[in-house]
Amino acid sequence: MKIAAVQMVSGTEVDANLESARRLIATAAAEGATLVALPEYFCFMGRADTDKLAIAETPGQGPIQRMLSEAAQEHGVWLIGGTLPMKSPDPQRVLNSCCVFAPGGSLAARYDKIHLFRFERDSGGVRESYDEGRAILAGSEPTACEAAALPGSELLRVGLSVCYDLRFPELYRALMAPPCDLLSVPSAFTYTTGQAHWELLLRARAIENQCYVIAPAQGGRHENGRRTWGHSMIVDPWGEVLAVRPEGEGVVLAELDMARIAEVRGQLPALTHRRF
């Protein structure tokens, strides 16, 4: 099964971002991908945290969800739709929601990001400050879904997570009952934290859970002045990086081999040795 991680440098115009996403999904499908994953905030990178409120959608409605459904159906792929702002019970905050669409265009799963990023640093007179909790309401439920490359083929269990979730291994352990074959981590890592920790954390999650990890990311300099780390990648169950794109818009692809998962888990049955 070929899987694809899409890297974007999203801007402040939703329509332009959706058009870029459509084009990149088409590219991935043309190269044989049957599962495609978009990055966090693929649809919008605003100038202020609260800009998300104006484009927040109701579940099952809106141009962002419609585009994802149509693209999945048009190309016959499983589509992990990065994240989009979804209306929440708090009118001052949105949910950061990852929607998964089946090849027929139906919604297969939705995960609301649980862990909210906060980071402050002064370095050389340059200050970085992020606090997602100002405009985002945290989700609460670990979520996984099942996908199949082709009708009648072996089911693939996909665990859903988003960006900062990557730092919390207990979330992935919760997703491993039963074990996942693929963990998805759509992200918009900052350049600072990405340079220090991105690959290290992705490889750790793959190794400790003995499964593939797909990590589509934002990667470049955005209209709002923010710089994201990029390095979208696909990692195998042994922690080997199979494909990576450092910066800029594009697609990385790799084969997901169920036999490879079985081989790794058979040689080193760490998942069966767990005591906690």
pLDDT in tens, 75-123: 999 999 999 999 999 999 999 999 999 999 999 999 999 999 999 888 7
Among 99, 113, 180, 247, the active-site one is 113
Q: Is 25 within 8 Å of 75 (Cβ atoms)?
A: yes
pLDDT in tens, 127-179: 788 899 999 999 999 999 999 866 667 789 999 999 999 999 999 999 999 99
- Give the separation between CA 51 and CA 144, rounded to whole angstroms: 29
- Give the separation between CA 127 and CA 185, rounded to whole angstroms: 27
Among 41, 42, 49, 44, residue whose Cα is nearest residue 14: 44
* CATH fold of the domain at 2-273: Nitrilase/N-carbamoyl-D-aminoacid amidohydrolase (3.60.110)
Whether 40 is catalytic is yes
Whether 145 is catalytic is no
- Give the separation between CA 152 and CA 156, rounded to whole angstroms: 12
Among 163, 180, 211, 247, the active-site one is 163
pLDDT of 154 reads 79
pLDDT of 151 reads 64
pLDDT in tens, 223-254: 999 999 999 999 999 999 999 999 999 999 99
Average pLDDT over residues 54-81: 98
Alpha-carbon separation of residue 253 from 83, 117, 256 (angstroms): 20, 28, 10
Among 40, 57, 132, 247, the active-site one is 40
pLDDT of 157 reads 97
Here the tokens at position 206 are: 């793959």
Among 172, 57, 199, residue whose Cα is nearest residue 114: 172
Span of 51-55, 128-132, 208-212, 244-248 with lowest mean pLDDT: 128-132
Alpha-carbon separation of residue 131 from 134, 136, 178, 179 (angstroms): 6, 9, 33, 32
- Give the separation between CA 218 and CA 216, rounded to whole angstroms: 7
Whether 113 is catalytic is yes
pLDDT in tens, 25-43: 999 999 999 999 999 999 9
Confidence tier at 266 by pLDDT (50, 70, 90): very high
